[in-house]
């Protein structure tokens, strides 16, 4: 144990905090800082986020459905947690 305080009166252990850019409660192990008594805003103690740009554990590919037939264009995709408006999880449209 050592003191994180300037006056050395309060002993504590520095804790590692990981940047949580997507707000899913899991941080990116590549971006971290140390803090003794306060959890920094936007940082978490968990460093197991595989993709800190998406607020979900597993993202899916969705296909743009321009004509609304429930089939999307296999050449017009987006990676997301849920299908955005105008996108579907089926990329079987021949003519969209």
Query: How far apart (Å, rounded) are the C-alpha atoms in residues 37 and 26?
Result: 20
Specify the pTM: 0.57
Q: For the chain, 96 residues long, give each residue's pLDDT as a single digit of tens.
A: 344 555 556 667 789 999 999 888 999 989 999 988 789 999 999 999 877 777 777 789 999 999 999 999 999 999 888 999 999 999 998 775
Alpha-carbon distance values, 73 to 40, 58, 79 (Å)? 43, 22, 14
- Are 35 and 13 in contact by the 8 Å Cβ rule? The answer is no
Domain boundaries, the chain: 2-44, 59-96
């Amino acid at each position: 144990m050592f003191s994180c305080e300037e006056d050395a009166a309060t002993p504590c252990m520095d804790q590692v905090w990981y940047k949580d850019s997507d707000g899913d409660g899991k941080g990116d192990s590549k971006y971290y800082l140390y803090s003794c008594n306060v959890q920094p805003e936007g940082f978490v103690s968990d460093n197991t986020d595989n993709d800190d740009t998406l607020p979900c554990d597993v993202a899916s590919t969705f296909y743009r459905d321009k004509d609304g037939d429930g089939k999307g264009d296999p050449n017009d995709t987006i990676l997301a947690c849920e299908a955005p408006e105008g996108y579907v999880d089926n990329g079987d449209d021949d003519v969209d």
